[in-house]
Amino acid sequence: MLLRRIVLAALAALLSAGPALAQADPSFNLVNRSGQPIRELYVSPVSNPNWGHDLLGSDVLPDGRAFPVRIPPSAGCRQDVRVVYADGRPEERRNQDTCRITQMVFGSAAQAPPSTQEPAQGNPSFNLVNHGQQAMREVYVSSARDQNWGQQRLPRTMNPGEHLAVRLPLGECVNDVRVVWQDGRAEERRGLDTCGIVNLVFR
């Protein structure tokens, strides 16, 4: 009898604590009010060094439409968001607490959610584009001040015609880029001002 009471009390305590243990939901709707389509969309945790894959895939997000961004609670609340418009211009929102919003509007500065990060000079993120005749098997990007290349950024080989959204810390404008082609040939570009480019093409 005593054991039964203990079990029932433990179950009651667990059920009453359920809502408190629930994780916040970082998912949100991204709304395009820019006046042109959005052709690429990336969302990743601030702790992730890569932007990941384009959430729109082969689709575009027309002006005036919304796209539901589904993020697992395990990813946390702090997210970086990057869009690329139809004219090739990128726009980013860094270190956003998406658990506290239901929508994020691009193209309307008055409705942009606040960032906890101080504004930095220059945005060095860019798209690396493979216009060569073969696949790329490795890509490295690092600050020109660094003595090593850092981690390999490709999750898989990048075929001709594909691109990689390279995510870099704000303000680090001068960077070195190294690609290794499928045949083992390496190609480097040193001292690039990536704050001044949108697409970096290798042929």
Residue 165 lies inside a defined structural domain of this protein: yes
Q: Assess whether 39 and 66 both reside in one domain.
A: yes
Q: Assess whether 107 and 36 both reside in one domain.
A: yes
Q: Residues 113-123, buried b or exposed e (16+ Cβ, 10 A)?
A: eeeeeeeeeeb
Residue 3 lies inside a defined structural domain of this protein: no
Q: Is the pLDDT of residue 117 over 80?
A: no
Q: Which domain holds residue 91?
A: 28-111
Q: Name the percent of the chain lying above pLDDT 70.
A: 82
Which residue, of 82, 111, 140, is where some domain finishes?
Answer: 111
Query: Virtual CA dihedral for 145, 118, 48, 105, nearest 10 degrees?
Result: -130
Structure tokens at 30: 């991204």
Structure tokens at 151: 């981690």
**CATH value at residue 84:** 2.60.40
DSSP characters over 88-118: S-EEEEEEEEGGG-SEEEES-GGGPPP-SSP
Q: Which of 14-23, 103-112, 157-166 has the lowest mean pLDDT?
A: 14-23
Q: Assess whether 140 and 75 both reside in one domain.
A: no
Segments in the chain forming alpha helices (H): 2-21
Tens digits of residue pLDDT in 159-170: 999 999 999 988
- In a 13 Å sphere around the CA of 113, the CA atoms on its Cβ side amount to 24
Q: How many domains does the chain have?
A: 2
Q: Is the pLDDT of residue 21 over 90?
A: no
**CATH value at residue 184:** 2.60.40.2890
Residue 7 lies inside a defined structural domain of this protein: no
The pLDDT assigned to 110 comes to 41
Residue 19 lies inside a defined structural domain of this protein: no
Rounded mean pLDDT of 59-75?
A: 95
Q: Assess whether 142 and 190 both reside in one domain.
A: yes
Q: Assess whether 49 and 103 both reside in one domain.
A: yes
Q: Is the pLDDT of residue 34 over 90?
A: yes
Structure tokens at 72: 């697992």
Quick one: pLDDT band at residue 116, thresholds 50, 70, 90? very low
Distance CA 91, CA 37 (A): 13
The pLDDT assigned to 119 comes to 47
Q: Assess whether 103 and 137 both reside in one domain.
A: no
Tens digits of residue pLDDT in 54-65: 999 999 999 999
Quick one: pLDDT band at residue 157, thresholds 50, 70, 90? very high
